[in-house]
Structure 1
């Protein structure tokens, strides 16, 4: 089950958001090879080097193994995330099995693991993807009633790593600690704080070594995104209704069915679960935040699904008729998987990225022009795999297009729907391969 998102990400390529490339893969490439496109966050110190550092280690491993194909070393960089996702799914099983038994636990793993947004996001190098996997581990650990010292340390460390990989996940830490206090789980609260403190010390040391002062990236992030209002000014602000349609389209019908089941369970004095409490508080914070993006919802969606899965799984697995159990299971899994068609609601650029990778696989590539794409939409040097010049443009009148036509070192072009094809052919390019709507052109 954990393999599925990794295989989808590596085979499909593309990206959900530019951050998938320029906040993870490209900095890792720069770390290993000494060149690459570093976004402004890496100049201003608004990010920490934890995730790019780990990915850089696996990129170095790929280099030692002689893997030079971009899709090949992308697969190698998927290994740590694959392991993390497998850990999170095991946590889902343990969390659900406490409430729905072993059969219900395995069904819950299917419900969460085949949930459309999880299939799309969990293999992607987005901060939301890494952080959510750590949050699933934390939710299960803090839910335990046995061996609370170990559970608290694991849960606190997982919460800390969720924040290291994505700073807005600090809201989940606050929510989890408030939940523990409300449940009067003082011992768990204490060791959760201790586990998180260890990770915090590690983050402070990492920032000191890379940015020159402890917690430099966290402070810079809070200043930019929370205190100054610069994030909304630069990237735009939206009203709370921005999240209405993504929520309605991304939450599967079986999760809504958990609401009446939860009301029935409440009569048996079942407390509000930790993941539901965390998802609710985080969603409230998102609605109040000016800058909004659909991907920000992902952690809340997965935790809400985690809260709902045991209830639905218990209901299904306790049905007397086998045909009914199988029918309801297949229906729930199908509805959950279908959510992938609506969230995220934009083009992943899979064909374009596969064409970019193919552009440098052919011998003799010395320069690449990408038509109908901007700098932050392209795959960077990570997907080119070579230290060669590359440009992006929209139309023949653009300066980048004119430069690429004049300079013979630009001998590869990736374009969509044959845009600028007459001008490219006039400059000596010919189409050699197609990837859906994308075309790869070369010239001698």
Structure 2
């Protein structure tokens, strides 16, 4: 029976690798696959997080090992470079799902709420450090000594998670305090012989990996806290009100599962002595939400780590409730939860933001074929909001690629504007200053942009023709359109010296200028 549950989760998570074909957040690629690609093949872009040393190389290093094995066996095609890391993460997520089942006393409802959670299905096979963090958290919770049995096995995945992503420590503060309080061992003994020893071993491993790959002695967790917390760099990428996690973040992540969770919360508060384990988990959830709420930059994925805690509380409540409820009511509740999760999971996995990945598949083919046809490499420019697509990890062809940068204001410059913001203030002015005007062959061979930008850069596009269009989103903004377009330069072999881009003092015609 246990093997069947494990195989079920393995099948489910592997299926998500192929079902979830949409873009979510840049970190899925730029903080994992792109870094691993550079480690293995020598080219790929490192964002400022890596040049400043705030990220740990531990996770990308594991992916780089996969890439190296593929390269040695001459199997390093783009399809496998993209697919295998997701398969690896899906298998780890499946194992953590099985450990969740074990932790939940092998409850059928635990399998149900975890398997139907739309947000976990949407993220469980993504190469996000948050996904790895969540898997390690669940594994640790399954070994946590909830009963009188003494054990510190849980500290190993906890320590690894913290060194990969320091914010992982937040929910473990109340849990570890509880562990030390209930333990029969003296606190000093636990701290010295368990906590500090395990932390030292994992920390030494992490320090060695990071220092070797960063090229100098570096403690990435310290740099992470220094930039994101002390310097508040995270707020550069957006701010939300303090209550956002409570009224938007958590209800969205739980979806329709918010309903049984709220019932479970009320029940737990009323009978704290009966549901001691659930009470501890609720304290942990509240503590984590409070700390996260104090940070200005907030994202849905930051809640991934406490999602399993919420699902455990809900599953335990549903398991006890279903023993007393009628069969029809139980089936009705199960069907409602299933449908309520399938709807957002389907839309976000199949439809929303799928263009960002589809366009990269096309560009990979273009990069491969362009040299064969014209005996010269393609040159791509992405006139999109910063990090709107993957990069070299999805091209795997050492061709010229440029995107709009968006580094934070490290030097505290007054009226600072990153490259992406500067571009969107006046696209044509940026193009005139940053792209060569002649010969035409010096211009990018292909331009990638949202359709909403086309009217603003029509003069620049006068020497390009639209090659392909990919649906991206039903929800548009002033920078993000419904479709991502690929434009190809006319006659790539032409080397005329006439400028296709009007200079600052020239007035373009209605039709634009021809090269």
Classify the TM-score, shorter chain. 0.7 to 0.9
Taking the TM superposition and a 5 Å limit, the aligned residue runs for 1:28-177 are 28-97=36-105, 102=106, 105-145=107-147, 148-149=150-151, 152-153=152-153, 155-177=154-176
Q: 1:354 to 1:278 in 2, by over 3 A?
A: same
Q: What is the alpha-carbon distance in structure 1 between the residues aligned to residue 340 and residue 202 of structure 2?
A: 38
Larger deviation, residues 70-79 vs 380-389? 70-79
Q: 1:378 to 1:266 in 2, by over 3 A?
A: same
Whether the 8 Å contact between 1:249 and 1:339 is mirrored in structure 2 is no
Say whether 1:411 aligns with 2:440.
no
Cα deviation code 1:257-276 (max 9, x no counterpart): 21234246535363445543
Shift in Å, 1:25:
1.3
Cα deviation code 1:33-78 (max 9, x no counterpart): 1111111121121111101101111122333454444343211111
1:360 to 353, 356, 364: 364
Whether the 8 Å contact between 2:23 and 2:356 is mirrored in structure 1 is no
Whether the 8 Å contact between 1:5 and 1:118 is mirrored in structure 2 is no
**3-state SS, counterpart of residue 276 of structure 2:** coil
2:33 counterpart residue number: 25
Whether the 8 Å contact between 1:250 and 1:342 is mirrored in structure 2 is no
Q: 1:328 to 1:398 in 2, by over 3 A?
A: same
Q: What is the alpha-carbon distance in structure 2 between the residues aligned to residue 267 and residue 81 of structure 1?
A: 38
Q: What is the alpha-carbon distance in structure 1 between the residues aligned to residue 429 and residue 232 of structure 2?
A: 37
Q: 1:401 to 1:208 in 2, by over 3 A?
A: closer
2:204 to 201, 213, 232: 201
1:290 counterpart residue number: 296
Higher helix share: 1
- Count of aligned pairs between the two proteins: 431
RMSD: 3.4
Q: 1:327 to 1:370 in 2, by over 3 A?
A: farther
Question: What's the TM-score, normalizing by structure 2?
Answer: 0.73
Residue segments in structure 2 that go unaligned for 5+ positions in a row: 1-8, 372-376, 405-423, 473-482, 492-515
Q: What is the alpha-carbon distance in structure 2 between the residues aligned to residue 271 and residue 352 of structure 1?
A: 43
Whether the 8 Å contact between 1:367 and 1:412 is mirrored in structure 2 is yes
Shift in Å, 1:133:
1.1
Q: What is the alpha-carbon distance in structure 1 between the residues aligned to residue 61 and residue 12 of structure 2?
A: 24
Cα deviation code 1:294-323 (max 9, x no counterpart): 33222223322233222223322x246443
Q: What is the alpha-carbon distance in structure 2 between the residues aligned to residue 419 and residue 229 of structure 1?
A: 32
1:257 to 251, 256, 263: 263
Q: What is the alpha-carbon distance in structure 2 between the residues aligned to residue 8 and residue 405 of structure 1?
A: 47
1:388 to 399, 404, 408: 399
Whether the 8 Å contact between 1:115 and 1:336 is mirrored in structure 2 is yes
Say whether 1:300 aligns with 2:303.
no
Shift in Å, 1:157:
0.6
Larger radius of gyration: 2
Shift in Å, 1:4:
4.4
Question: What's the TM-score, normalizing by structure 1?
Answer: 0.83
Say whether 1:427 aligns with 2:463.
yes
**3-state SS, counterpart of residue 38 of structure 1:** coil
1:438 to 484, 490, 500: 484
Q: 1:19 to 1:55 in 2, by over 3 A?
A: same
Q: What is the alpha-carbon distance in structure 1 between the residues aligned to residue 241 and residue 39 of structure 2?
A: 39
Q: What is the alpha-carbon distance in structure 2 between the residues aligned to residue 342 and residue 185 of structure 1?
A: 50
Say whether 1:210 aligns with 2:256.
no
Q: What is the alpha-carbon distance in structure 1 between the residues aligned to residue 136 and residue 386 of structure 2?
A: 31
Q: What is the alpha-carbon distance in structure 2 between the residues aligned to residue 139 and residue 397 of structure 1?
A: 55
**3-state SS, counterpart of residue 144 of structure 2:** helix
Residue segments in structure 1 that go unaligned for 5+ positions in a row: none
Q: 1:225 to 1:430 in 2, by over 3 A?
A: closer
1:326 counterpart residue number: 331
Shift in Å, 1:80:
2.4
Q: What is the alpha-carbon distance in structure 2 between the residues aligned to residue 332 and residue 405 of structure 1?
A: 60
